[in-house]
């Protein structure tokens, strides 16, 4: 997506299974944590910060999931710790709640959104008939605001809410013009957003991505009637596996004509609550396979200590359930001691691909 211009990253509920229940992450706290835990001394964001590590806002190849993020942090941990020691930086501790806050910040900074292409987006904006009604600085049809008035460009949740609420009117307008209702792919919407966000007329729209804690998201999912249809084979546990916010917005847009009419309207707050609930519920379920994870556990020498009570390593079955969040928390709290013990035993530090991380988490949860 666009370079990050997070001004006021609000809260997003990032829920992970944990012994005491759900962990709720707050993006604003996560942004502060990124500063106070001194990540900013090595990493920069849009040129602000250190130069020892990559500028996290300028990675054009990012296509992260929580498992990708967790595996990257794990793989580079020894190098990070060595750099911190060399720079005289005290290694911070990271509780599960703080790790959830950090992941929430990653969401608000759009690290989990897919990269887009402005040239494709410009072509799609015309091909999908968006430009028929929406001019860049002037409206081409009654009730169709120009793009430079779209506050939703800075916030995918508002975009989803406005696309949802105005879907019926747009379908009527398309029918009047004898234009078929255009369906979208996630890549097409992503490309259009990148194109529109980088227009000179829209650069004043700061990326202000806000989510509240989704305490009422589940109740709204019920009261708005979503749960009446999304059950069994249509349960969202399977339909929205590992989807980004933009992907969920596209699914809602494409799905609306097939719903019972009229579909329920949603306020921005209600859309935030529901999307926060759905995103967190699905994104951290993972797609790991426990059988493969067992092999990872053995091949990466985890079993050498954790299956040997005499080693002093904890019984991992007593600390489940696990998620990408809890793995990152454990890494920062216990990783340096693990590294020291592994060096004593001449065991190499394990490196995981994203799939191996997901498989390992699935295996740990099966213990």
Q: How far is Cα 107 from Cα 129, in angstroms, rounded to an integer?
A: 30
Model confidence band, residue 193 (pLDDT cutoffs 50, 70, 90)? confident
List C-alpha distances in Å: 86 to 33, 52, 81, 209, 231. 21, 12, 9, 35, 54
* Strand-strand pairing, 48-49 and 44-45: antiparallel
Average pLDDT, the chain: 79
What's the CA gap between 21 and 294, in Å, rounded? 26
Across 280-298, average pLDDT: 81
Q: For residues 123 and 120, what is the distance between their CA atoms, to the nearest angstrom? A: 5
Please report the sign of the dihedral spanned by the C-alpha atoms of residue 257, residue 216, residue 278, residue 14.
Answer: positive
pTM to 2 decimal places: 0.69
Instruction: To the nearest 10°, report the CA torsion of 236, 237, 243, 247.
Output: 0
Q: What pLDDT, on a 0 to 100 scale, did the predictor assign at position 105? A: 77
Cβ-based neighbour number of residue 222 at 10 Å: 11
Q: 2-6, 157-161, 216-220 — which is least confidently predicted?
A: 2-6
What tens digit of pLDDT does each residue of 68-106 get?
Answer: 888 988 998 998 888 888 888 887 788 888 888 887 777
Tokens of 342: 């592994």
Nearest to 29 by CA among 4, 56, 11, 43: 11
Q: pLDDT: is 138 or 312 the higher one?
A: 138
């Amino acid at each position: 997506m666009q370079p990050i211009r997070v001004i006021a990253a609000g809260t997003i509920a990032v829920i992970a299974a944990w012994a005491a229940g759900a962990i709720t992450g707050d993006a604003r706290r996560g942004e502060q944590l990124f500063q106070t835990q001194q990540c900013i001394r090595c990493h920069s964001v849009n040129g602000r910060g250190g130069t020892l590590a990559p500028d996290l806002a300028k990675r054009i190849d990012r296509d992260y999931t929580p498992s990708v993020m967790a595996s990257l942090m794990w793989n580079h941990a020894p190098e990070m710790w060595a750099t911190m020691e060399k720079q005289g930086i005290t290694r911070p501790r990271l509780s599960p709640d703080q790790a959830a806050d950090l992941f929430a910040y990653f969401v608000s900074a759009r690290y989990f959104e897919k990269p887009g292409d402005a040239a494709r987006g410009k072509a799609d904006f015309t091909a999908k008939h968006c430009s028929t009604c929406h001019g860049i600085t002037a409206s081409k049809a009654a009730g169709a605001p120009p793009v430079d008035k779209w506050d939703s460009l800075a916030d995918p949740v508002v975009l989803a809410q406005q696309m949802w609420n105005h879907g019926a009117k747009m379908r009527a307008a398309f029918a009047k013009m004898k234009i078929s209702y255009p369906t979208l792919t996630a890549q097409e919407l992503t490309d259009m957003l990148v194109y529109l966000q980088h227009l000179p007329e829209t650069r004043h729209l700061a990326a202000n991505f806000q989510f509240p804690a989704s305490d009422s998201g589940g109740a709204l999912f019920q009261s708005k009637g979503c749960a009446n249809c999304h059950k069994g084979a249509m349960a969202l546990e399977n339909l929205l596996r590992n989807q980004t916010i933009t992907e969920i917005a596209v699914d809602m847009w494409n799905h609306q004509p097939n719903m019972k009419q009229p579909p329920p309207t949603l306020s921005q707050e209600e859309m935030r609550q529901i999307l926060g609930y759905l995103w967190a519920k699905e994104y951290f379920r993972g797609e790991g396979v426990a059988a493969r994870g067992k092999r990872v556990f053995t091949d990466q020498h985890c079993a050498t200590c954790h299956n040997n009570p005499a080693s002093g390593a904890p019984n991992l079955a007593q600390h489940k359930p696990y998620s990408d969040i809890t793995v990152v928390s454990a890494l920062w709290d216990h990783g340096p001691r693990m590294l020291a013990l592994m060096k004593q035993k001449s065991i190499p530090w394990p490196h995981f691909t994203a799939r191996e991380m997901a498989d390992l988490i699935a295996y740990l949860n099966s213990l």
